[in-house]
Amino acid sequence: MDTVNPENNPKKPVINWASLRENRAKYESMKWAGLPPIEKNFYKESPRTASMSQEEVELWRKENNNITCDDLKEGEKRCIPNPVCKFEDAFEHYPDIMANIRKVGFQKPTPIQSQAWPIILQGIDLIGIAQTGTGKTLAYLMPGFIHLTSQPISKDERGGPGMLVLAPTRELALQVEAECSKYAYKEIKSICVYGGGDRKGQIDMVTKGVDIVIATPGRLNDLQMNNFINLKSITYLVLDEADRMLDMGFEPQIMKILIDVRPDRQTVMTSATWPDGVRRLAKSYLKNPMIVYVGTLDLAAVNTVQQKVIVIPEAEKRAYMHSFIKSMKPKDKVIIFVGKKADDLASDFGIQGIPVQSLHGNREQCDREQALDDFKKGKVRILVATDLASRGLDVHDVTHVFNFDFPRNIEEYVHRVGRTGRAGRTGEAVTLVTGNSWKFASELIDILERANQVVPDELIAMAERYKQSQMRKEMEKDIQRPWRKPSK
């Protein structure tokens, strides 16, 4: 019988880590050898911006939705540049950009733009955190155009696109591309690459030469694996809506894409939120970035309101509302928010002999004023209102907000809830949520958590189901045949 004699076994080869590391470094440097240098700093601070005092800078930041900034570079911190208060302060040396801005008639930079432009234009990597709809696209596009058109080598010598924007969904990618074609100049060419689109057409465009590629990660990774696109020429990279890209499960594709993008590029990342996943992404793919955070939701008012969320089938909403109204105390005052059918609900109450008033866009101005007056004076204790009519509505003794229909967006939710709990009082908000509003579930959870409120399990399940369905939809659209071998 054979016995294993360890003495006779050939020695296990020792892994030479040092040499492996050396080889890897050699390979890396070979991979990036011979690439042209990147020009990154184009910022000339205007005299006006330079002359702002520290107090002026702080006041501007405070008044512009509380802009906060930080330098995430390890070690000695750099100076955060002053914000630009006017478009000219950032772009007066770029007449094409100024002409485009004048054409659309924008008044002034949005908060994120005012603070992001001086940072990006200096060539510093940036993380921009701001709510949806706050102008993040132009915050990175404008400096991107300047970067593209100011490189020491010409477009043709570059041998591929110079700027890449990764976006989570085809709709968002198309939106970015629309902004891009609206504001680009000097014949900058852009193309949108997304799943479900005309793959062959996209490939033709990419290989013909474009300057800006706006892509969803799945499809771009597909083109990359099949060698249809050269990513080495990219010197300006944007990860747009990073939080949503992570939610959609795109991290592996992003990782694969970025292996081929040169490491000394400039990178800008935007996100509406700043959770751990996004921090990790920033750490992996940005170099010594600065971060600009813009707050928009005024949650201060909401913190004095107890928020109750009820997940309920549409058919049971009325019964729930009526039992809620029955439970009201004599001094309570409630605004019932509805999507459209304010009159419908109001007459429902009328039939039952409960006095109510209603506020909606279809009522005459004088009737609206009467309604508000009745409610303020307490002639009626129930006001049925639509969002259209509720802006600026300030009745100090509202004890309850009842969201019969969920609003069209989460900002409106915060706004509605803020109708109660005013002037140091406490208030209560009850919100009915049906399956129709599932796309808001995760944002609603964020708000409830931040205000230390109870989050119902059904709401968590709803958010999870929505996420799953979005992922499935994107996967179907985006990665049609990921297993296909490259055709040679």
| 137 contributes a contact to ligand ADP by CB under 6 A | yes
By the rule CB under 6 A, 134 interacts with ligand ADP: yes
Q: Does 431 bind ligand ADP (CB under 6 A)?
A: no
| Closest separation in Å from C-beta 113 to ligand ADP | 6
Binds 114: which of ligand ADP, Mg ion, none (CB < 5-8 Å by kind)? none
* Backbone torsions φ then ψ of 337, nearest 5 degrees: -95, 130
Instruction: Closer to ligand ADP by CB, 111 or 421: give it.
Output: 111
Enumerate residues 132-161 that contact Mg ion by CB under 5 A: 136
| Residue 402, beta-bridge partner list | 336, 430
Site for ligand ADP in 361-420 (CB under 6 A): none
Among 42, 106, 228, 320, binds ligand ADP (CB under 6 A): 106
> Residues binding ligand ADP: what is the number (CB under 6 A)?
12
Binding mask 48-87 for ligand ADP (x = CB under 6 A): ----------------------------------------
Q: Does 110 bind ligand ADP (CB under 6 A)?
A: yes
| Interface segment toward ligand ADP; rule CB under 6 A; list 49-57, 76-84, 135-143, 287-295 | 135-143
Phi, psi of 207 (to 5 degrees): -75, -25
Work out whether 133 is an interface residue with ligand ADP (CB under 6 A).
yes
Contact at 8 Å (CB) between 290 and 72?
Answer: yes
> At residue 310, what are phi and psi to the nearest 5 degrees?
-115, 120
- Under the binding rule (CB under 6 A), the answer on residue 136 touching ligand ADP is yes
Among 148, 151, 181, 175, which residue's Cα sits nearest to residue 162? 148
Q: SS3 string of the chain?
A: CCCCCHHHCCCCCCCCHHHHHHHHHHHHHHHCCCCCCCCCCCCCCCHHHHCCCHHHHHHHHHHCCCEEEEECCCCCCCCCCCCCCCHHHHHCCCHHHHHHHHHHCCCCCCHHHHHHHHHHCCCCCEEEECCCCCCHHHHHHHHHHHHHHCCCCCHHHHCCCCEEEECCCHHHHHHHHHHHHHHCCCCCCEEEECCCCCHHHHHHHHHHCCCEEEECHHHHHHHHHCCCCCCCCCCEEEECCHHHHHHCCCHHHHHHHHHCCCCCCEEEEEECCCCHHHHHHHHHHCCCCEEEEECCCCHHHHCCEEEEEEECCHHHHHHHHHHHHHCCCCCCCEEEECCCCHHHHHHHHHHCCCCCEEECCCCCHHHHHHHHHHHHHCCCCEEEECHHHHCCCCCCCCCEEEECCCCCCHHHHHHHHCCCCCCCCCEEEEEEECHHHHHHHHHHHHHHHHCCCCCCHHHHHHHHHHHHHHHHHHHHHHCCCCCCCCCC
Residue 138 CB, nearest distance to ligand ADP (Å)?
A: 5
Q: Which is nearer to ligand ADP, 127 or 206 (CB)?
A: 127
**181 makes contact with ligand ADP (CB under 6 A):** no
Interaction partner, residue 134 (ligand ADP, Mg ion, none; CB < 5-8 Å by kind): ligand ADP
Give dist(CA 91, CA 336) in Å, integer: 48
CB of 175 to ligand ADP, least distance (A): 6
Q: How many chain residues are in contact with Mg ion, going by CB under 5 A? A: 1
Taking CB under 6 A as the rule, does residue 135 contact ligand ADP? yes
Q: Which does 214 bind (CB under 5 to 8 A by kind): ligand ADP, Mg ion, none?
A: none
Closest CB to Mg ion among residues 138, 380: 138
State the minimum distance, in angstroms, from the CB of residue 346 to ligand ADP.
35
138 touching ligand ADP, by CB under 6 A: yes
- Nearer of residues 182 and 379 to ligand ADP, judged by Cβ: 182
For Mg ion, the closer of residues 222 and 243 by Cβ is: 243
Could you tell which of ligand ADP, Mg ion, none binds residue 138, using a CB distance below 5 to 8 A set by kind?
Answer: ligand ADP
Q: Is 441 in the site for ligand ADP (CB under 6 A)?
A: no
Q: Which does 233 bind (CB under 5 to 8 A by kind): ligand ADP, Mg ion, none?
A: none
Could you tell me which stretch among 102-110, 116-124, 128-136, 332-340 binds Mg ion (CB under 5 A)? 128-136
CB 136 to ligand ADP: min, Å = 3
Considering beta carbons, is residue 113 or 115 the nearer one to ligand ADP?
A: 113
Binding site for ligand ADP (CB under 6 A): 106, 109-110, 113, 130, 132-138
Binding site for Mg ion (CB under 5 A): 136
